[in-house]
Structure 1
Amino acid sequence: MKVIIFGLGNFGMSLALSLTETGNEVIGVDYKMEKVNLIKDKISHSICLDSTNEQAYQALPIKQTDIAVIAIGENEGAAIITTAIIKKLCTARVISRSLSPIHDTVLQAMGIDFIVHPEQEAADKLTDKLNLKNMVDNFKIDKRYSISEVKTPTAFIGKTILDINFRTNYNLNIVTILRKKEKTNLIGVSTTQLEVIGIPSGDTIIETDDVLVVFGLNDNISKIGNMS
């Protein structure tokens, strides 16, 4: 995909690098030359311009863009103006960072479906990890349901999924299991990585250090997330 990211602060720069690493063509835009120079050799293109100036967009392939991300985090007014200009000039999918509840309201009124709150989302994710001692990672589907990676409680080790009967006893579905595998690289150095075992069957045995990927209500995930 062709992605243009407006705003190369911590969030915008991290997103630009991550999208580049996963095979996307990324153009980074910022009004500060020092930020543009920091990333210019790491993504497809980086451009210094004022995104609140509609005339400046002539330097961008805005009409050929698949996704436009407004990642501006220092100036709410600039973020809103940039979003409005992009909505006017192209039909790309627009993803906008919100800096406040009022910003949320404005973006929703503009018809922006995908609104991100990176600081709040990072704080919520860390809170989940700190509150649940066995939590590895967590992805919230909505306010009630999540897909979570949970370290295997001691009581589950050596038992099969059928023995544990997750659906009846915990009202959870096991999506998959992440299991440690030792790998040796080209120079002979061994490393341990977590690998997905695929779709587990009822007779799959839970092993020490397994990470269970479960889906269900947050309250039910909390129960096994706090088991010893």
Structure 2
Amino acid sequence: MADIGNDPVVVIGLGRFGTSLALELAKRGTEVLAIDNRPKIVQSLSGRLTHIVSADATDIDALRELGVADFYRAVVGIGGDLEASILTTSLLVELDIDDIWAKAISRQHARILERIGAHHIVLPEHDMGERVAHLVSGRMLDYLEVDENFALAKTLPPKELVGIPLGDTRLRAKHGVTVVSVKRPGEDFTYATTETILEYGDVILIAGPITKVERFAERA
């Protein structure tokens, strides 16, 4: 399929995660083929998703009949049934799906999915628990881990940064983080520059290695 960004997506497994994902994709204008082996679930979502079918995703012939092999991107949202999750993912690999996303419920489950060929692993419960832990234990207003050792955090500026142009603070040299955006009270976020002067009441978005982001946020 030529335009990868606008390709339809097949979502297999309509639990809480799969349903939320399928509905959000549809809301954003992406064509979605949703598959679940529970007729009641399919019936309950039939008015909200245009293409939704009840089928056994662990049957490669059923997947072929539904045209799954023609999709560039697929998401396996099956979580509770590990055997079905692993088998479905392996069948998508066999069908040569280029971009496979799979939900895992544990690190061990994630490792198995990676080994059989899933390109991206999603650990919703773990990721959300990790994010909330950062928010509860520190002074961050929001937190997003974007790589194994890199994060974005929304926090308040420490006193030492207020009233001084960011270019004069030597922030990256001292603390290893960068202020990438600033939000004034009642305004939207804007890009920070070396001339930006922070004020009390501002909210800042910082980026950097996880440990340094955590340490810097504690100074707020």
TM-score band, normalised by the shorter chain? 0.7 to 0.9
Q: Give the 3 Å change call, closer, same or farther, for CA 220–109 of structure 1 in structure 2.
A: closer
Return closer, same or farther for 1:64/1:103 CA change in 2, 3 Å cut-off: same
Sort the Cα spacing of 1:75 and 1:218 in 2 relative to 1 into closer, same or farther, 3 A.
same
Are 1:170 and 2:175 an aligned pair? yes
Whole-angstrom distance in 2 between the partners of 1:135 and 1:224: 13
Q: Which runs of 4+ in 1 moved over 4 A?
A: none
Instruction: From 101, 106, 116, give the equivalent of 2:112.
Output: 106
Cα distance in 2 for partners of 1:60, 1:92 equals 17
The equivalent residue for 2:214 is 222
CA drift of 1:76 comes to 0.3
Q: C-alpha displacement at 1:7, in angstroms?
A: 0.7
Structure 2 Cα separation of the partners of residues 26 and 210 of structure 1: 40
The CA distance in 2 between the partners of 1:110 and 1:42, in whole Å, is 33
Count of residue pairs brought into register by the alignment: 214
- In structure 2, the CA distance between the partners of 1:88 and 1:181, relative to structure 1 (3 Å rule), is same
The structure-2 alpha-carbon separation of the partners of 1:106 and 1:177, relative to structure 1 and needing over 3 Å to count, comes to: same
Tell me if structure 2 keeps the 8 A contact 1:3–1:25: yes
- 2:134 is matched with 128
| Residue of structure 2 in register with 1:145 after alignment | 150
Q: CA deviation at 1:29?
A: 1.1
Matched-pair contact (CA < 8 Å) for 2:90–2:117: no
Q: Could you tell me which of 189, 193, 216 is aligned with 1:196?
A: 189
SS in 2 for 1:205: coil
* In structure 2, distance between residues paired with 1:30 and 1:97: 15
Question: How far 1:59 sits from its partner (Å)?
Answer: 4.1
Contact 1:31 1:51 in 2 (8 A): yes
Please say if residues 68 and 95 of structure 1, whose CA atoms lie closer than 8 Å, have aligned partners that are also in contact: yes
Code of the aligned partner of 1:107: L
Structure with the bigger percentage of strand: 1
Q: What residue ranges of structure 1 are gaps of 5+ in the alignment?
A: 183-194
Is the contact between residue 134 and residue 140 of structure 2 (CA under 8 Å) also seen in structure 1?
no
For the Cα contact (< 8 Å) 1:70–1:97, is it kept in 2?
yes
| Contact in 1 for aligned 2:102/2:122 (Cα 8 Å) | yes
Counterpart position of 2:19: 13
- Is it true that 1:210 corresponds to 2:216 in the alignment? no
After TM superposition, give the deviation of residue 154 of structure 1 in Å.
Answer: 4.8
Over the residues paired in the alignment, what is the CA RMSD in angstroms? 2.2
Whole-angstrom CA distance in 2 between matches of 1:88 and 1:20: 27
Cα offset, 1:51, TM superposition: 0.9
State the percentage of identical aligned residues. Answer: 24
Q: How far apart are residue 133 of structure 1 and its match?
A: 1.7
Instruction: Give yes or no for contact 1:12–1:71 (8 Å, CA) kept in 2.
Output: yes
Q: For 1:50, which of 52, 56, 79 is the aligned residue?
A: 56
Deviation readout 1:26-51 (Å, 9 max, x if unpaired): 12111112222333333332111111
For residues 124-160 of structure 1, the C-alpha deviation after alignment (integer angstroms, 9 at most, x for no partner) is 1111111222332222421x32222223335534433
Match of 1:71 in 2: 77
